Amino acid sequence: MSGCLWPCVSSANAMTAGMGGGLFGPKARSPAELVRHTRDILRFIADHPEPCSGKLEAKREQKIADLSISVRAMKSILYGDGDGDPVAEACTQLTREFFKDNTLRLVIVCVPHMDLETQKEVTLVYANLARQKVDSRIPASDYLEVNQDLLDILMAGFNNRDIAIHYSTILRDCVRHQVAARYVLYSQHMKKFFDYIQFPDFSPSSEAFKTFKGTSDKA
């Protein structure tokens, strides 16, 4: 990079500028603004999970497309891109805002309604956020401690083979934190992992085994 400090640090800025109305339109969104924008999209999708009709369906399809752009922009901030490495302050702002107002809950609820590529990218976004530290604390761990019901939702997701892989990936990043691992280990769902491991389909059974192993190791 040629001496350009965040927020004009990388192509992530250009992507968010595009969401804000184009390169010559309104200014690019900051990481916190990007998360708030994404949260608004997720709320709409959560309120309209099934195909609608007429103009509402067109709006729903546009929101799903916008979500894909937003998730990709967050991924670029957290992982960097071809133009540069991640910027710590940008990652901190994004992390701090993400764990406000139940963004993670909305992500989990909306995963079944995302396209496949967005499902993959949102798991990468959370994998990074789950490890981020802010002021010597890990926001993901603090959030999960008071929102343990999300772990129940993720574990129950193994019953849906369309989303089992994505939910198990998010769950494994949750149980990296001891507070989540202990909850999962002693939950009513834990005994079901042995059933999941015996699924005839290789992918779900493999995911269940990896999640079970990661949980027992961490707890």
Domain range list for the chain: 1-146, 148-219
pLDDT band for 184, please (50, 70, 90 cuts).
Answer: confident
Evaluate whether 49 touches 43 at the Cβ level (below 8 Å): no
- Mind listing the pLDDT tens digit for each residue in 135-168? 999 999 999 999 999 999 998 887 788 898 899 8
CA-CA distance, 62 to 91, in Å (whole number)? 27
SS3 183: helix
pLDDT band for 78, please (50, 70, 90 cuts).
Answer: very high
Confidence check: pLDDT of 212 > 70: no
pLDDT at 152: 92
pLDDT at 22: 41
SS3 149: helix
Buried b (16+ CB within 10 A) or exposed e, 31-60: bbbbbbbbbebbbbbeebeeeeeeeeeeeb
pLDDT at 11: 38
pLDDT band for 192, please (50, 70, 90 cuts).
Answer: low
CA distances 54 to 57, 59, 189, Å, are 6, 9, 40
* Residue recorded with tokens 């309104």: 26
CA-CA distance, 117 to 44, in Å (whole number)? 20
Q: Which of 10-24, 123-137, 144-158 has the lowest mean pLDDT?
A: 10-24
In single-letter form, the type of residue at position 95 comes to: T
In single-letter form, the type of residue at position 170 comes to: I
Confidence check: pLDDT of 133 > 60: yes
Percentage of residues in the chain having pLDDT higher than 70: 74
- Superfamily covering domain 1-146: Leucine-rich Repeat Variant (1.25.10.10)
pTM here is 0.79
Mean pLDDT value of segment 125-133: 97
Contacts of 22 (CB under 8 A, 6+ apart): none
Confidence check: pLDDT of 64 > 70: yes
Q: Give the phi and the psi of residue 137 in degrees, each rounded to 5.
A: -120, 160
27-31, 59-63, 81-85, 212-216, range with greatest mean pLDDT: 59-63
